[in-house]
Amino acid sequence: MLRSSEDFARPLVLNKRAFKANIAVCDGNLQPGSSLDDDILALREEYLGREFDEITFAIDGGRFSEYARACGEQDPRFTDAAHPDFQAPPTYVSTLIGGRSRPDGFPQLSGVGMDAGKGVQWMAPIRDGATLTGKSHLHDIYVKTGRSGRMIFLVARMELYDEHGTHVANADTRTVIRERPSE
Amino acid sequence: MSDLVKTIADVEFGAELPAFQPDTGLDNVKRFGKHVGWDSPRFTDHEAARKEGFPAALVPGVMSQGYLGAMIHRWAPAAEIVEIDTVFRAPVLVDQPHSVVGVVTDVDEDTGTAEIDITITNAAQETRVFGTAKVRLPTG
């Protein structure tokens, strides 16, 4: 069953009431413990939702079946090219990397950056031999503040479309930048 | 509930998915790196990882996320994972035993969907990766 891409196309909303309460809002979901300092608010206003990268991927069943086996998948629909429903595991799209990770002009944030997580929204099977187009934008920017200072979270979303224009998946990469204490 | 889930009617709120011990061995991680692309020395060489300040080589985050998906498909082969969100809280170390566990936190029989909290823990029961998944199963 296909999911509508509109399910994931809701606009980012900056809820002013939540802003006053130091809570970031993205796609209607609260980010607990996060805040919107003025600099972060400015980054959101300038960069969220702006497409900054487009890249094509030739989907190789050999590669995604190796991925599946290494991860412990046993279902032949993910591991056996002869299976009638042969397809990539949904999480496979996390391995597809765009050409760039930030928009033009995005400021260099000073601090230690780390991969904080991955998210996938799956809408349709991805088959061997497909050509996907990945279009990336910054989907969310928020801050969490702890005893050691601020941690800035950047969520880059790659929307993936097949050769027919069907929106097949979203792949989110969450990067956290821990600001240096002196800043 | 039987171990193998076939339809949404087989899913019980609060049920624990069968734990899965993923292959974190160096050979498997090297094979992943060769075929999928994560072949930096920090993933494939313990000594190189230590020189970067890590206690040992690391399992790539994208591979850890794949373990979580595999656990769900082992529990319910017909499941479609429609959403999965994972947080990399701490490194999953190569050649160290880990366990992937899950618990059902919501069931909607009308839509055939269930939500699952998912976690990877090490031998000391420390959480390394956690997240949530939404799966869709046949309704009949």
Q: Where are the domains of chain A?
A: 5-60+93-179
C-alpha B83/C-alpha B71 separation (Å) is 15
| CA end-to-end distance (rounded Å), chain B | 16
C-alpha–C-alpha distance, residues A112 and A125, integer Å: 36
Of A71, A114, A119, the CB nearest to B84: A119
What rounded mean pLDDT belongs to chain A? 83
Q: How far is B80 from B77, CA to CA, in rounded Å?
A: 9
* pLDDT beyond 50 at A109: yes
* Distance from the B12 Cα atom to the nearest Cα atom in chain A, whole angstroms: 23
d(CA B105, CA B83): 14
Scan for tokens 């809701």, then name that residue. Answer: A10
ipTM higher than threshold 0.85: yes
Q: Residues A54, A55, A61, A62: is their CA dihedral positive or negative? A: negative
Q: Nearest C-alpha of chain B: how many angstroms from A72? A: 6
Give the confidence band of A38 by pLDDT, cuts at 50, 70, 90.
Answer: confident
- The one-letter amino acid code at B86 reads T
Q: What's at B80, amino acid-wise?
A: E
Full set of structural domains in chain B with CATH: 8-136 (3.10.129.10)
- A positions 44-83 inside 8 Å of B (CB): 62-63, 66-68, 70-75, 78
d(CA A26, CA A44): 11
Tens-digit pLDDT string for chain B (140 aa): 456 899 999 999 999 999 999 999 999 999 999 999 899 999 999 999 999 999 999 999 999 999 999 999 999 999 999 999 999 999 999 999 999 999 999 999 999 999 999 999 999 999 999 999 999 999 97
Query: What would be the CATH architecture of the domain defined by A5-60+93-179?
Result: Roll (3.10)
Residues linked to residue A51 through DSSP beta bridges, in sequence order: A137
More confident residue, A110 or B74: B74
| Residue contact A117–B66, C-beta within 8 A | no
pLDDT value, residue A126 = 98
List C-alpha distances in Å: A41 to A106, A157, A174, B78: 14, 19, 18, 43
Q: What is the 3-state secondary structure (H, E, C) of chain A?
A: CCCCHHHHCCCCCCCHHHHHCCCEEECCEEECCEECCHHHHHHHHHHECCEEEEEEEECCHHHHHHHHHHHCCCCHHHHCCCCCCCCCCHHHHHHCCCCCCCCCCCCCCCEEEEEEEEEEEECCCCCCCCEEEEEEEEEEEEEEEECCEEEEEEEEEEEEECCCCCEEEEEEEEEEEEECCCC
- Higher pLDDT among residues A20 and A82, named by residue: A82
**Quick one: average pLDDT of A122-135?**
98
Phi, psi (degrees; rounded to nearest 5) at B40 = -65, 145
Cβ-based neighbours of A143, under 8 Å, separated by 6 or more: A24, A34, A35, A36, A37, A40, A150, A151, A152, A153
Residues of chain B contacting residue A95, judged by C-beta atoms under 8 Å apart: 36-38, 62
Rounded mean pLDDT of A161-178?
A: 96
pLDDT for position A8: 41
Residue A29 scores a pLDDT above 50:
no
Q: CB within 8 A of A157, min separation 6: which ones?
A: A136, A137, A138, A139, A170, A171, A172
Whether the Cβ atoms of residue A175 and residue A154 lie closer than 8 Å to each other: yes
Two structure tokens written together for A109: 């944030």
